[in-house]
Amino acid sequence: MTTHHESLNSGFVSLVGAGPGDPDLLTVKGLKAIQAAQVVVYDRLVSKEILALADSSAEMIYVGKRLDFHCVPQDQINQILVQKAQEGKRVVRLKGGDSFIFGRGGEELEELAQFGIKFDVVPGITAAAGATAYAGIPLTHRDHAQSVQFITGHVQKDGREIEWHSLAQSNNTLVFYMGLKQSGYITQKLLETGLDATISCAIIENGTRPEQRVFTGLLKDLPTMAEQAVSPALIVVGNVTTLHDKLKWFQPPNSDS
């Protein structure tokens, strides 16, 4: 039994980040990879305009969540990628945003590496960059934030507890992914570790998409704000969010203002 299997053929997996929603935010390199793919393995957050870029003969495999179904387990996704590559196929593994930011891209590549399958990585615009850009919220700004942190809101599930004390600084922008359901806990922890209750925050729902909505308020009101928002949404905490009013520019085509 060998641990490193040599691939017998020229199968290849391209791990492509599709960006946060607006299909035009796909990179040129991502576009070329999708067009050349024989198999596309994709997640829920990938827009249908991007899926439509694939060749009509490409095999499209959905591995995201369905309404009441659970998502395809990670080891089964890994298995599909390995199997298709071993058949000699050009595979694109397509994920929302950037594959290395809360996207399990690393785990999937580790599996491919173990089987000796060749791969490359095409970065995507992560939600924190895309959604804030479209909301007119600069992640850093000389007057407001000297640093920015991306944090998962799936705190308990994803293992180790967040080091809250390292987050709670007034000149640090915090971007929480998957944080809507945990907004009460997040708020409580940030207040406990020293953030001011009146620091500004924002929720960006469906960022970069025609349905984009932005809610702004104070940290103490974050749990109430979160009740009005739906997934996918980002929570942004920090004084940069006060710039939204001045810098908002994105007019979703279906908005009435």
Catalytic positions: 43, 65
Which residue is nearest to ligand SAH, using beta carbons? Answer: 97
Shortest distance in whole angstroms from residue 5 CB to ligand SAH? 28
Shortest distance in whole angstroms from residue 99 CB to ligand SAH? 6
**CA distances (Å), origin 169, targets 20, 79, 150, 217:** 27, 43, 14, 18
Q: Where does this chain bind ligand SAH (CB under 6 A)?
A: 20-21, 45, 95-98, 101-103, 126-127, 131, 177-178, 204, 206-209, 231-234
**Cβ atoms 6, 116 nearer than 8 A:** yes
Gyration radius of the chain over CA positions: 20
Shortest distance in whole angstroms from residue 129 CB to ligand SAH? 8
3-state secondary structure of 35: helix
Q: Is 178 left (phi over 0), alpha (psi -120 to 50) or beta?
A: left
What is the Cα 37 distance to its own chain's centre? 22
Shortest distance in whole angstroms from residue 1 CB to ligand SAH? 34
Shortest distance in whole angstroms from residue 96 CB to ligand SAH? 5
Q: Which is nearer to ligand SAH, 11 or 17 (CB)?
A: 17
Measure the CA–CA gap between 117 and 81, rounded to whole angstroms.
10
201, containing H or E segment = strand 200-205
Q: Which is nearer to ligand SAH, 5 or 44 (CB)?
A: 44
183, containing H or E segment = helix 183-192
- Name residues whose C-beta falls within 8 Å of residue 25's C-beta, 6 or more positions apart in sequence: 19, 124, 125, 130, 208
- Name residues whose C-beta falls within 8 Å of residue 210's C-beta, 6 or more positions apart in sequence: 252, 253, 254
Measure the CA–CA gap between 30 and 195, rounded to whole angstroms.
39
